[in-house]
Amino acid sequence: MKKAIREPQQERSIEKKNKIIDASYVLFSENGYYSTGTSDIAKKAGVSTGIVYGYFEDKRDILLYVLKIYIDRVTAPLIDYMKKMKAPVDFKKVLPEFLDLVTKTHKENAHLHNTLHSLAASDKDVSGEFIALEDRITEHVSNRLTELGVNAEHISEKVHIAMNLMQSFSHEAIFDRHKYIDYEAMRQEVLDMLAKLFSE
């Protein structure tokens, strides 16, 4: 029989649940998912283990809440940037700024990024959230560019390719750091490819 999970109603209870999620975010970032125990989370949040299980089914349940916060943190700066864009779109200005923003959000969330992406290979819910994230960003950016008068053919496909290029560069520049790669030169190559993509 599935145990009943408490949904906090009072402000104090909501705050307690959020503390557990915030503590988990920090611990999953610092130690990884598998090296973090529920007792570690309880200690970090300043609550008992019983309280943790009162609000969450298990550690994986907490993980899904952490994942949602992570997604909000990495997408919010990109959405804000798109909202502030004005017509006509100057891709020479927009592309380097957007690429640098994608790289910055990866850098700021690097440790948790690694943890979550390693779990995506074996957890269909985590993987599904990342696929849904790609869909939302592609749709949002495509719609916003169309609103601003960009009439590129196959706009969704081009935006999706652009986001993949930017993510690949960010992974290279932050996580891989090959000694033989000049990352400033690589950044310029990526920008040249992106400029060509949106000039057609």
- Asked if residue 39 and residue 81 are part of one domain, the reply reads no
- Asked if residue 165 and residue 135 are part of one domain, the reply reads yes
- Give the CATH number, domain containing residue 4: 1.10.10.60
Please check whether residue 32 is in contact with residue 115, taking contact to mean a CB–CB distance below 8 angstroms. Answer: yes
d(CA 93, CA 103): 16
pTM equals 0.84
- Asked if residue 114 and residue 49 are part of one domain, the reply reads no
The pLDDT tens digits of the residues spanning 168-199 come to: 999 999 988 899 999 999 999 999 999 999 88
- Give the CATH number, domain containing residue 91: 1.10.357.10
- Number of residues written out for the chain: 200
Measured in Å, how far apart are the chain's first and last C-alpha atoms?
58
What's the token pair of residue 157? Answer: 């496909």
Please check whether residue 12 is in contact with residue 43, taking contact to mean a CB–CB distance below 8 angstroms. Answer: no
- Asked if residue 176 and residue 114 are part of one domain, the reply reads yes
The pLDDT tens digits of the residues spanning 129-173 come to: 999 999 999 999 999 999 999 988 899 999 999 999 999 999 999
Which range of residues forms the domain containing residue 1? 1-57
- Asked if residue 78 and residue 18 are part of one domain, the reply reads no
Query: Nearest to residue 28, comparing CAs of 77, 58, 70?
Result: 70
Residue 70 backbone zone (phi > 0: left; psi -120 to 50: alpha; other: beta): alpha
Q: Which residues contact 73 (CB under 8 A, 6 or more apart)?
A: 105, 108, 109
- Asked if residue 183 and residue 128 are part of one domain, the reply reads yes
- Asked if residue 165 and residue 115 are part of one domain, the reply reads yes
Task: Look at residue 9 and tell me whether its pLDDT is greater than 60.
Answer: no
Mean pLDDT taken over the chain: 91
- Our separate counts of H helices and E strands in the chain read 9, 0
Task: Look at residue 79 and tell me whether its pLDDT is greater than 90.
Answer: yes
Region 45-52: mean pLDDT is 94
- Asked if residue 99 and residue 159 are part of one domain, the reply reads yes
d(CA 163, CA 142): 11
Counting residues of the chain whose pLDDT is more than 90, the rounded percentage is 80
- Asked if residue 143 and residue 45 are part of one domain, the reply reads no
Based on the structure, what is the number of domains in the chain? 2
| C-alpha atoms less than 13 angstroms from C-alpha of 147 in its C-beta half-sphere | 11
